[in-house]
Amino acid sequence: MNEQQAKMLLPLVNNQQVWAGLEEYLKELLVRHRTRLVVEESESEMRRLQGKLALLETLVVLKKSVNDTVQTNKRENNRE
């Protein structure tokens, strides 16, 4: 993620009410998809679910990623 992308996402991830609702929803989806993955027998469906899980896990940590990117860029700009 670059600095411009992070700055565009700041209003979403730092809005407590919005982020809390989104995070709860994403975590529920993670549980549901993990449960489905455990019982899935189709190899193609397992791969599809694994891809969904990877994306959901990335989204759950989006707030941390955005804030880390912004903080890193602030520190780098202060050194210059």
**Does 8 reside within a domain?**
no
CA distance 69 to 5: 9
**Does 4 reside within a domain?**
no
Predicted confidence pLDDT, tens digits, the chain (80 residues):
899 999 999 999 999 999 999 999 999 999 999 999 999 999 999 999 999 999 999 999 999 999 999 999 888 888 77
* Helix, coil or strand: residue 52: helix
Structural domains of the chain, count? 1
pLDDT at 40: 95
Containing structural domain, residue 33: 14-74
pLDDT at 76: 83
**Does 57 reside within a domain?**
yes
50 alpha-carbon distance from chain centroid: 15
59 alpha-carbon distance from chain centroid: 1
**Does 50 reside within a domain?**
yes
CA distance 26 to 53: 10
**Does 3 reside within a domain?**
no
**Does 25 reside within a domain?**
yes
pLDDT at 10: 94
pLDDT at 78: 83
Q: Do residues 9 and 35 make contact, with C-beta atoms less than 8 angstroms apart?
A: no
